[in-house]
């Protein structure tokens, strides 16, 4: 994933070698943001891409300029869609959660929301963990589904081990030429793996991140958002 303050840095590091698709995984996907610009989603869908995560928000104010366009086009193409929030250590976590909620309206069949956590902003680990939990819990309360945590393997091992994070699905970025999958200690398993950042697909200009889901298609379907649950919560909370 690419975000505002690290675009140039990541551009210099990215695409040193083309990412080849890992066809031995049943469920395949990509993640995108405004850096991809116009995408022919029907062409993408024809290449057996099952899901796409798209950047929605960052911090407490920024909204990705392509989010709403991509959000509707992904669904129209029949690809399962998910929205992610890039977490900023420089603004209140509750405000960031509210910003995401105001931007992203989930429908039945969408993927759970994602928290993209990659930088500490020099926060102490205890504070960073507390702030990210604030976001995760606020999102879960609103949508009625556990969000996914996205980060790289080193960041996860440094900041997100421990029972308070054990219930959240994990999406790990780990690139290596041997295609060794991520390792998560204490018996935990990753749910999504971003294994490369320079994949190529017809319908997308330039590089795109490639991802896979750990499991079979029915397990993937079981992860999808069920709006009926959220609707029942809303009905319970509706004023008489």
Query: What is the radius of gyration, based on Cα positions, of the chain?
Result: 17
d(CA 110, CA 118): 24
Q: Please identify which residue in the block is written with the tokens 């935990």.
A: 188
Decide: 134 and 164 in contact? Cβ < 8 Å. Answer: no
- How many angstroms separate the Cα of 123 from the Cα of each of 52, 57, 127, 197? 31, 21, 6, 28
Spot the catalytic one: 18, 61, 73, 118.
Answer: 118
d(CA 105, CA 227): 10
Is 164 one of the annotated active-site residues of the chain?
A: no
Give alpha helix (H) positions in 28-92.
41-45, 67-76
Q: Please identify which residue in the block is written with the tokens 């551009």.
A: 11
Cα atoms found within 13 Å of the Cα of residue 206, Cβ hemisphere only: 12
Q: Which 3 state secondary structure label does DSSP give 156?
A: helix
Annotated catalytic sites, by residue? 118
């Amino acid at each position: 994933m690419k975000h505002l303050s690290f675009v140039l840095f990541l551009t210099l590091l990215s695409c040193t070698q083309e990412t080849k698709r890992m066809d031995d995984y049943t469920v395949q996907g990509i993640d995108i943001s405004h850096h991809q610009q116009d995408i022919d989603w029907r062409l993408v869908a024809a290449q057996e891409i099952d899901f796409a995560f798209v950047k929605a928000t960052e911090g407490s104010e920024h909204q990705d300029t392509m989010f709403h366009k991509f959000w509707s086009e992904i669904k129209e193409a029949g690809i399962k869609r998910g929205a992610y929030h890039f977490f900023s250590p420089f603004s209140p976590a509750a405000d960031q959660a509210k910003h995401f909620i105001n931007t992203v309206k989930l429908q039945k069949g969408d993927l759970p929301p994602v928290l993209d956590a990659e930088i500490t902003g020099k926060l102490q680990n205890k504070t960073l963990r507390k702030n990210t939990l604030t976001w995760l819990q606020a999102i879960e309360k609103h949508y009625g589904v556990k969000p996914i945590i996205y980060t790289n393997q080193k960041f996860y091992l440094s900041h997100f081990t421990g029972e308070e994070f054990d219930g959240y699905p994990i999406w790990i970025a780990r690139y290596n030429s041997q295609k060794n999958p991520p390792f998560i200690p204490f018996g935990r398993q990753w749910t999504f793996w971003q294994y490369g950042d320079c994949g190529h697909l017809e319908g997308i200009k330039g590089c795109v991140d490639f991802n896979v889901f750990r499991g079979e298609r029915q397990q993937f379907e079981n992860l999808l958002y069920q709006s009926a649950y959220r609707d029942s919560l809303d009905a319970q909370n509706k004023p008489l």
